[in-house]
Structure 1
Amino acid sequence: MRSITPVLLCGGAGERLWPLSRQSFPKQFAPLTGTRSLFQQAATRLAGTGPGHHYSAPLVITASDYRFIATQQLAEAGIDPGAVLIEPEARNTAPAVLAAAIHASAANPDAMLLIAPSDHAIGDRDAFAAAVGQGLAAAEAGRIVTFGVAPDRPETGYGYLELAGRPDATGGATDLRRFVEKPDAETAGGMIEAGNFLWNAGIFLASARSLIDAFHAHAPNLVRPVSQALARARPDLGFLRLDPAAWSDAEAISVDYAVMEKVAGLAVVPLTGGWSDLGGWDAVWREAGPDARGVALSDRALAIDCHDSLLRSEAEGTEIVGIGLRDVIAIAMPDAVLVADMSRAQDVRLAVEHLRGKGAAQATDHPRDHRPWGWFESLAIGDRFQVKRILVHPGAALSLQSHVHRSEHWVVVSGTARVQIDGEERLVSENQSVYVPVGARHRMENPGKVPMILIEVQTGPYVGEDDIVRYEDLYSRDPGE
């Protein structure tokens, strides 16, 4: 049985799904289509066995800001990762794919890699496994295999694959004629009628050797900087940080543009069972399964006489109500609300650009700030005070730190906290509180087996996140993290 190493790409920001997806917490880590995040769904889908193959531990490529989110979510899904490569900065998918291939090749040049975005929705896990199995023979013969989805509408938001003939009825690989950029509606309709076009799913199966050879042939300018970034990489708490200087020399370009559109003999396997790149709220609306009136709702949403609309509340305690809506997207978050015409779903990124231009924190910062030990969210903030809710994972601990401008009161509402203040340690249980004076060296950890939740009240002339003097940290974070 052939071993396949999944390569999970999870460094994107997903701005078209704002305000849920933001730079600090992008869509791949959010539960858009169920109780698990898209990243967890992808990792679970690429685990276990399939026809003629089994999956080894995934190789993850992500940004430094997401490294602890990724490993925490994998742990919650019961999956141990292999290598976790940290990109110093986003350079699109081509450098990331090449880095994965070079890293895997060091142990086995013929390692079989399945390159997959971690923010797509694929409904039928068995159908996906079958498609991977059908592509194995071509990949083992040295070809690069990609996967295409039979279009069910003239979609203008996807790229297409033109096959040399109609897709193989038995599900085998078919030769690729060319990649086609996102078309207009008329062109998309004509391609569907032709019958030999598939949506480009952006998933690739190939040996590490084949991928590296393709980069040498078609994108040689990437080989040197990416190779140097790996050669100079440094281990960091189980992660492998690619060298920033070398990585910055790599061109920011997609793997399609850099390599795949130039490769001769690329093979395509049809992918059945449902697929979406969830590239906009209109795609989320379709994936959610609208009712007979075309309405899709979250748990905290109500629609009265609405049609062809998506209403979602992502804020606890906030109900969203639509009356008489047609073709509307309405998304409520604790700190921002999006209302848009369904036909303008791809323009949501323009809102992010405008908010960023005016310096609004909502453009990039998620209201729940995720840290390696858990997360916090601000419940109230005003002149000289801030109230936060904080969750600490079992066994996790905040850094040993002090503050120059603020004091803190902690009230434990769930679980037990082990608290250290100026060298004195105590346990603080549910319904108990503790006071941390200005300037005191303090640390909090969760010694229990369940998440610990507390309310923190900060008081002082300045309550910004940068008022932290860090002395010790289990996670080796930089001062600004």
Structure 2
Amino acid sequence: MTHIDQTKLIHPVILSGGAGTRLWPLSRPEHPKQFFPLVSERTMIQDTVLRTAPSAGNFAAPVIVTSARHEAMLLDQLTAIEVAPAALLLEPEGRNTAPAIAIAARWIVEQHGDGVMLVMPSDHMIAKPDILLKAAAAAHGLAADGYMVTFGIIPTAPETGFGYIAEGGALDAEGHIRSVNCFIEKPPLADAIAYLENGGFYWNSGIFLFSARALLDALSIHCPTVTEASIAAMDQAVAQGVSIKPDHAAFAAAPNISIDHAVMEKADRVAVVPVDMGWSDVGSWQAIWAMRAGEEAGNSIHGDGFVHDARGNLVYVEGGPPVAAIGVDNCVIVSTAQGVLVLPRDRCQDVRAAADHFRKRAS
């Protein structure tokens, strides 16, 4: 039997803890958007897992961090695509991305001594995954050497809803990998326009590459409470097959903080790889319409829907009553067993208000 050096592999770490409230009423805490087929015939988490299947390159089996309440659903979806995970780390409660990534890093260190992690959200669309895989391969050596690498999306519009990364000097001979000058929170429109015009600024994709030990070491310096809580939670974890439940009390002691605020904005050796890979965070019904609209009138229909004398609409039926849209333009109509949503496409960012209203009413 050929021995595989796990330190030479890239370990996919897939984060599946988001609730996707901007896609209410389809996406809900008990069944968030990554478990639905929003942009292809597979669910979003299935597409994410298959991007880095061992057959796609030098990848280990995935480590998936998810909510304990989603364990059975996730295992069913992995079985459907015939992928066996290395581990399912079942968060007892959500504490944001820094603790989630830290428990995955701890697991990799415990199992393999170290390894380079490719951290990906489970609910993003990547139309050209081969570009991401090539970029990860190109940055592997830098990550193995202790750099914290992020992947910057080449912007196509002056978006104010994304964070930005400002590039610094080149770190490779070709200039494809750059140091990071700074991270920028969601900017005002004037700044976003200037970033697009000037170049050298990228959308923050939330996709990262670094070694497990380097990540834990950086957290120990810049946000030690995350490291301490994550190590304690994993040291007291309960394992059953591939499913591992970190200790609840220890994990809950971690601050609720993103990996960007905990480490990436503070570390000294941070790099960005600009990529044009057809990326979307699928953060709104407008984004889904843009990805799915294909017919001449710009309508997109999923499920039992019908349009007549109508243009630019998204009709999405999943478990709810059938929908007929007649004489309406540029609307989103979503029908599920949990609720119905109707709004103009240019008001999609207001969906969170409806989600919050019904969540508070149910509590």
Is the pair's TM-score, using the shorter chain for normalization, greater than 0.5?
yes
With over 3 angstroms needed to count, the CA separation of the structure-2 counterparts of 1:24 and 1:171, relative to structure 1, is farther
How far has the Cα of 1:65 moved from its partner? 0.6
- Find the counterpart in structure 2 of residue 45 from structure 1: 51
- Find the counterpart in structure 1 of residue 342 from structure 2: 339
For residues 346-403 of structure 1, the C-alpha deviation after alignment (integer angstroms, 9 at most, x for no partner) is 221111111122228xxxxxxxxxxxxxxxxxxxxxxxxxxxxxxxxxxxxxxxxxxx
For residues 430-478 of structure 1, the C-alpha deviation after alignment (integer angstroms, 9 at most, x for no partner) is xxxxxxxxxxxxxxxxxxxxxxxxxxxxxxxxxxxxxxxxxxxxxxxxx
With over 3 angstroms needed to count, the CA separation of the structure-2 counterparts of 1:19 and 1:169, relative to structure 1, is farther
With over 3 angstroms needed to count, the CA separation of the structure-2 counterparts of 1:107 and 1:357, relative to structure 1, is closer
Partner SS, residue 130 of structure 2: helix
With over 3 angstroms needed to count, the CA separation of the structure-2 counterparts of 1:319 and 1:99, relative to structure 1, is same
For residues 17-36 of structure 1, the C-alpha deviation after alignment (integer angstroms, 9 at most, x for no partner) is 11111111100111101111
How far has the Cα of 1:174 moved from its partner? 0.9
Q: Is the 8 A contact 2:302 2:316 kept in 1?
A: yes
Q: Is 1:10 the equivalent of 2:19?
A: no
Counterpart pick for 1:59 among 59, 63, 73:
63
Q: Is 1:116 the equivalent of 2:120?
A: yes
Amino acid in structure 2 at the alignment position of 1:331: V
- Find the counterpart in structure 1 of residue 265 from structure 2: 261
Amino acid in structure 2 at the alignment position of 1:204: F
With over 3 angstroms needed to count, the CA separation of the structure-2 counterparts of 1:197 and 1:167, relative to structure 1, is farther
Partner SS, residue 69 of structure 1: helix
How far has the Cα of 1:296 moved from its partner? 2.8
How far has the Cα of 1:189 moved from its partner? 1.3
Larger radius of gyration: 1
Once residues 195 and 166 of structure 1 are traced to their aligned partners in structure 2, the CA distance between those partners, rounded to angstroms, is 15
- Find the counterpart in structure 2 of residue 23 from structure 1: 29
- Find the counterpart in structure 1 of residue 182 from structure 2: 178
How far has the Cα of 1:218 moved from its partner? 0.7
- The higher-RCO structure (CA 8 Å, 6+ apart) is 2
Partner SS, residue 203 of structure 1: strand
How far has the Cα of 1:213 moved from its partner? 1.1
**Structure 1 unaligned residues grouped into runs of 5+:** 361-481
With over 3 angstroms needed to count, the CA separation of the structure-2 counterparts of 1:321 and 1:100, relative to structure 1, is same
Q: Is 1:357 the equivalent of 2:360?
A: yes
Q: Is the 8 A contact 2:310 2:325 kept in 1?
A: no
Amino acid in structure 1 at the alignment position of 2:91: E
Amino acid in structure 2 at the alignment position of 1:26: P
- Find the counterpart in structure 2 of residue 302 from structure 1: 306
Once residues 319 and 116 of structure 2 are traced to their aligned partners in structure 1, the CA distance between those partners, rounded to angstroms, is 42
Once residues 353 and 9 of structure 1 are traced to their aligned partners in structure 2, the CA distance between those partners, rounded to angstroms, is 23
Question: Which is richer in helix?
Answer: 2
- Find the counterpart in structure 2 of residue 421 from structure 1: none
How far has the Cα of 1:343 moved from its partner? 2.6
How far has the Cα of 1:293 moved from its partner? 4.5
Partner SS, residue 230 of structure 2: helix
State how 1:97-246 maps to structure 2 within 5 Å.
97-164=101-168, 172-246=176-250
- Find the counterpart in structure 1 of residue 329 from structure 2: 325
With over 3 angstroms needed to count, the CA separation of the structure-2 counterparts of 1:329 and 1:171, relative to structure 1, is farther
Partner SS, residue 357 of structure 2: helix
Q: Is the 8 A contact 2:148 2:209 kept in 1?
A: yes
For residues 243-272 of structure 1, the C-alpha deviation after alignment (integer angstroms, 9 at most, x for no partner) is 011111111111111111111221111222
Partner SS, residue 21 of structure 1: coil
Q: Is the 8 A contact 1:215 1:223 kept in 2?
A: yes
- Find the counterpart in structure 1 of residue 92 from structure 2: 88
Once residues 170 and 297 of structure 1 are traced to their aligned partners in structure 2, the CA distance between those partners, rounded to angstroms, is 44
Q: Is 1:286 the equivalent of 2:293?
A: no
Once residues 22 and 262 of structure 1 are traced to their aligned partners in structure 2, the CA distance between those partners, rounded to angstroms, is 33
For residues 166-186 of structure 1, the C-alpha deviation after alignment (integer angstroms, 9 at most, x for no partner) is 999957211111111112322
Partner SS, residue 158 of structure 2: coil
Amino acid in structure 2 at the alignment position of 1:298: H
| Length, aligned pairs only | 357
Partner SS, residue 349 of structure 2: helix
Amino acid in structure 2 at the alignment position of 1:330: I
Once residues 86 and 323 of structure 1 are traced to their aligned partners in structure 2, the CA distance between those partners, rounded to angstroms, is 47
Once residues 160 and 292 of structure 1 are traced to their aligned partners in structure 2, the CA distance between those partners, rounded to angstroms, is 35
For residues 197-231 of structure 1, the C-alpha deviation after alignment (integer angstroms, 9 at most, x for no partner) is 11111011111111111101111121211111111
Q: Is the 8 A contact 2:85 2:242 kept in 1?
A: no
TM-score (norm 2): 0.92
Partner SS, residue 362 of structure 2: coil
Counterpart pick for 1:36 among 23, 42, 66:
42
Once residues 285 and 271 of structure 1 are traced to their aligned partners in structure 2, the CA distance between those partners, rounded to angstroms, is 23
Question: Which is richer in strand?
Answer: 1
